[in-house]
Structure 1
Amino acid sequence: MALAIRDVREHELDAVLALNNTAGRSILVLDAVQLRYFYDHADYFRVAEIDGQLAGFLIALRDGGDYSSPNYRWFNEHYPSFVYIDRIVIANAYRRHGLGRIFYCDVNSFAEVRVPLLACEVFLEPVDDVVVLFHGTYGFQEVGQQRMGEHGPQVSLLAKDLPSYTYVRDTYLEHGGLPDEPWLAGRPTLKTDNTTKRRLAGERRS
């Protein structure tokens, strides 16, 4: 089995959309416009490819964006710097193969050289003990709860401290930035708008 975790490609968006919208009630449905927003603005948007087949994806965003998710906005109001995991989806045929942990290790590696905190949420209605346990064993702690809209589900807001960030900040970010290595690079398709320019500059000052 050949596994690759890599940045999403534009021609794969239809397949990603179909995978998202058949994932079940724990994953919020997207339309093409919403997915395009992620393609244009998400700091982390990677897919898992197994033997040439799309097996899953994970989308995450840094702080300071205009994303309208109430959970993302909650973290923006409470923390100055973080990477927020918006969603992770694994295709049915590839579940129980450890892809979730592989994705979380990958996004953790992406985040810890940029920010001090990795954030996400889990649904509490209905509660999924497997999902709750997964996040707990991976080092997440509950930092709050809220309801997603007047009639939406209650969610547990989770955060994980990234202790490696302090070393990276003091050694690299405050002294010229990260080394020019492929595994440290951001998404090549990320738009260089004012927000992105501010973030890129901020990586030198964080």
Structure 2
Amino acid sequence: MPLAPRPLTPTDLPAALALNNAAAPHVNVLDADGLARLWAWAAVALGARGDDGGLLGFLLALPPDLPYDSANYRWVVGRRPQFLYVDRVVVTPGARGRGVGRALYRAALDAARCEGYASVVCEVNERPPNPGSLAFHAALGFGVIGRCDHGPHDKAVVFLERAGAA
């Protein structure tokens, strides 16, 4: 099934919120206001839809100059000058392995290149472990640039980067 991600719109946000929160703990749970704020800040906000128009997945990527109170985002801001930060990419379980995530990332990488970002950066949980996401990002050419352990009762993440967006 060839996918052509389209801009994520305000009418997509309820479905995106449901997908996001069903994917916990691999992404942080959000309320409607939190998702709307990330969507409004996003330099890239994409959705992939199935033949029935239902949302199969979405990606939100942020520029480096936001007042975003995320320890992971702040970690990247302090270490990379010009980046596009993938805050979250979520694919519904039934669509995994069908190219949805790859199509979302391909479109985000194209947008990053067109907008002149030096790299695309994200983080993936190491605690709780998310080996599928680590393998997915490695296959897309992302490499490790650092790690952050938020404490024994919280998440530990690995930061990944793909330099050049082409």
Q: Structure 1 stretches (4+) deviating beyond 3 angstroms? A: 1-4, 148-151
C-alpha separation in 2, matches of 1:43 and 1:49: 20
C-alpha separation in 2, matches of 1:43 and 1:150: 33
Pair 2,137 (structure 1): closer, same or farther in 2 beyond 3 Å: closer
1:136 alignment partner AA: A
Structure 1 residues 84-125: Cα deviation after superposition (integer angstroms, max 9, x where no partner): 001111112212211111111111111122211110011111
Structure 2 spans left out of the alignment, 5+ residues: none
Pair 2,39 (structure 1): closer, same or farther in 2 beyond 3 Å: same
CA contact (8 A) 1:38 1:45 kept: no
Q: Any idea what SS the aligned residue of 2:34 has?
A: helix
C-alpha RMSD of the superposition: 1.7
Partner of 1:94: 95
Percent identity over the alignment? 35
C-alpha separation in 2, matches of 1:112 and 1:74: 22
C-alpha separation in 1, matches of 2:165 and 2:128: 32
The structure with more radius of gyration: 1
Return the structure number with greater helix share.
1
Partner of 1:196: none
Partner of 2:83: 82
**Is the counterpart of residue 64 in structure 1 residue 70 in structure 2?**
no
Q: Any idea what SS the aligned residue of 2:108 has?
A: helix
Q: Any idea what SS the aligned residue of 1:29 has?
A: coil
Q: In the comparison of the two structures, how many residue pairs are matched?
A: 164
76-85 or 2-11, which moves further after superposition? 2-11
Partner of 1:168: none
Matches within 5 A, 1:131-142: 131-142=133-144
Return the structure number with greater strand share.
2
Please report how far the alpha carbon of residue 24 of structure 1 lies from its aligned counterpart in structure 2 after TM superposition.
Answer: 3.4
C-alpha separation in 1, matches of 2:126 and 2:75: 17
C-alpha separation in 2, matches of 1:3 and 1:130: 21
Partner of 1:153: 155
TM-score after normalising by structure 2: 0.91
Partner of 1:117: 119
Structure 1 spans left out of the alignment, 5+ residues: 165-206
CA contact (8 A) 1:20 1:27 kept: yes
Partner of 1:33: 33
Partner of 1:179: none
Please report how far the alpha carbon of residue 4 of structure 1 lies from its aligned counterpart in structure 2 after TM superposition.
Answer: 3.5
